[in-house]
Amino acid sequence: LRTTIPGPRSRELLERRAAAVPNGLYKAHQIAIESASGALVTDVDGNTFIDFVGGIGVLNAGHCPPSVVAAIQEQAAKLIHFSALVGTYEPYIALCERLNALAPISGPCKTILSNSGAEGVENAIKIARAATGRQAIIAFEGAYHGRTLLTLTLTSKYTFKKTFGPFAPEVYRAPFPAAYRMGVSEEEAVERCWEAFERILVAHVGPEAIAAVIIEPVQGEGGFIPTPREFMRRLRDFCTRNGSILIADEVQCGFGRTGTLFAMEQMAVEPDILVSAKSIAAGMPLAATTGRAAIMDKAHIGGIGGTYGGNPLACVAALEVVRMFDDGELLRRAKQIGAIVRERGAIWLRDIPLVGNVRGLGAMLAIELVKDRATRAPAADEVLEVVQYCAEHGVLTMRAGLYANCIRLLMPLVITDDQLHEGLDVLEEALHVVAQQKGGGHG
């Protein structure tokens, strides 16, 4: 699997990128990709990589699934664009019907489509405000909801935001029960964060002003931290009692990643609105904001939607992805992949002091690296070295976490056992090599 990156042709493209594209567009790897299939990607120099990033959670159904490619090709020859603002077309309606039926929300649902996760979240917030007549939103530390100005306001990591303020008003931040980081049990983390949540209602904003609470059932950019079920239950209770809308942002954790189509299915309570994107359409730009019909209908006519939202190509891709999940095989595979990675992770946790925590839900797993297990000091440089080592040995991974000290794993669910083990072998070797270079830390 040894690669030479960046190869000459990648180098040339990267140089052109540097001249043509602003530096603010991050890239995790010095590579230029040409093609991909299943769980493998090939760069312009002919290097092949096992993909453990999955386009940042976009490729749960794999790269270029043949049936999705065929659906897009067929649709492209028939109708590429019409705009849902002009009239309607079958793929848009069929997809909304499917999503309304699949959403983990009881009773009638409705769906509005858009082009990106951020737009999907913006729609959820706008609809929640329209439905409640209130303005305030509570979001969490470590949350990531997008890069538009409103969603960047909801996003908590300062390095994403830095010079872009002022941000939108009426967004309040509550601590997230990140038990490992807090150095306490999950129960204790829930108690402490709940106390803080209730304090916000006294110190900063009255409950009667809160339109919505937005939360990722599994925090993504924040470090792949599942929301403790008890915490989600309390948020649900609060929203129900208070007349606020509970928004689940499943942009990264949705569409089969966690072993159920939506992670909320494992949370025992229902959201009022759920946002999905990324893996919904195998890489076509699409997001869906799905919620209780009575709430969704509160946005005024002309207030939601856009020129491209739910374009026919993205819709037929999504319909095919939904069909691919129908028989439950990919969901079973997500659970299996999760079990395999966890098994390997348990060994790393035992043998490699650099590994402080292995966690997640289903096949949405992260490895958190620490300089010292006692202090849990984040090992961010080490993560970059592991990521680089893996790429040089043919495995694409990516960092995550409020402290950028987690390695996130989002391999396509169509990955074969051989590819999975081969990739995990490389990751294991990388962890050992980097741990040794750093002197191992303290057990």
Interface residues with ligand PMP (CB under 6 A) are 56, 116-118, 121, 144-146, 216, 220-221, 249, 251-252, 277
Q: Which is nearer to ligand PMP, 45 or 216 (CB)?
A: 216
Distance separating alpha carbons of residues 285 and 262, to the nearest angstrom: 19
Closest by alpha carbon to 142, among 114, 106, 176, 93? 176
- Asked whether 319 and 91 are in contact (CB, 8 A), the reply is yes
Of the two residues 3 and 397, which places its CB atom closer to ligand PMP in the complex? Answer: 397
Least distance to ligand PMP, CB of residue 275, Å:
7
In the complex, the smallest distance separating the C-beta of residue 3 from ligand PMP, rounded to whole angstroms, is 26
> Amino acid identity, residue 222?
G
Tell me the three state secondary structure of residue 149: helix
Neighbours of 91 (CB within 10 A): 22
CB of 48 to ligand PMP, least distance (A): 26
Which residues are within 8 A (CB) of 132 and not within 5 positions of it... i.e. 6 or more apart? 211, 212, 243, 244, 245
Minimum CB distance to ligand PMP, residue 117 (Å):
2
Please identify, using beta-carbon distances, which residue of 45 and 249 lies nearer to ligand PMP. 249
CB of 144 to ligand PMP, least distance (A): 5
Which CB atom, from 216 or from 320, has the smaller least distance to ligand PMP?
216
Structure tokens of 71?
A: 């659906």
Considering the complex, state which of residue 143 and residue 424 has its C-beta at the smaller distance from ligand PMP. 143
Q: How far is CA 393 from the centre of its chain?
A: 25
Pick 221 or 385: Cβ nearer ligand PMP: 221
Token pair belonging to 277: 């994107």
How buried is residue 202: exposed, middle or buried, by Cβ count under 10 Å (0-12/13-18/19+)?
A: exposed
Cα of 279 vs its chain's centroid, Å: 9
Distance CA 227, CA 235 (A): 11
Q: Give the residue with the Cβ less far from ligand PMP, 267 or 424.
A: 267
Question: Is 3 within 8 Å of 47 (Cβ atoms)?
Answer: yes
Q: 17-38: buried (b, 16+ CB within 10 Å) or exposed (e) per residue?
A: eeeeeeeeeeeebebbbeebeb
Which residues in 360-373 are b (16+ Cβ under 10 Å) and which e?
bbbbbbbbbbbbeb
Cα gap 295→108, rounded to integer Å: 10
Distance in Å, CB of 65 to ligand PMP, minimum:
20
Q: Which is nearer to ligand PMP, 95 or 118 (CB)?
A: 118
Which letter does DSSP use for residue 166 in this model? S
Nearer to ligand PMP, 147 or 438 (CB): 147
Minimum separation from the CB atom of position 108 to ligand PMP (A)? 25
CA-CA-CA-CA torsion sign (88, 89, 90, 94): negative
Nearest residue to ligand PMP by CB is: 117
* Residue with smaller CB distance to ligand PMP, 278 or 344: 278
Comparing C-alpha atoms, which of 214, 205, 210 is closest to residue 241? 210
